Structure 1
């Protein structure tokens, strides 16, 4: 079992609904890439859609951080995680 599966299994065992990882190129004109785990939940945070009841959801989101404090692009080719 990998860490992603262990993470999701833990929350599923606590009754959380697993939300699939969103695409790296989101269907959102305000974002170039999915850059955070909250992107699939953005419409809930902004109030565009009502908060689910019960509000227990989890995901393990693939994302790209292409600037700012955590720039993954600077690490491509230099670490085993960034390839």
Structure 2
């Protein structure tokens, strides 16, 4: 974790088969905001801005329980930012 940042980003490459029969690679960023809703809420906005700055095309998110106020706020923000929601 970098100083002042409340989350960890790990980067790697994923090999994919292309339509033409060859192979390609895509950059994968794995973001860890922590385990509890408070930690996640604390780093969420900054993490989304960072992914935008890095040119992320797709962001997959594992939701959190929205049974408390913080969890509900996190999920509300994620739903507003999403262009496609799948269960």
Would you say same fold, with TM above 0.5? no
Q: Using CA pairs below 8 Å that are at least 6 residues apart, which structure has the higher relative contact order?
A: 1
> Which has the larger strand fraction?
2
> Which has the larger helix fraction?
2
Q: TM-score when scaled to structure 2? A: 0.27
Q: TM-score when scaled to structure 1? A: 0.28
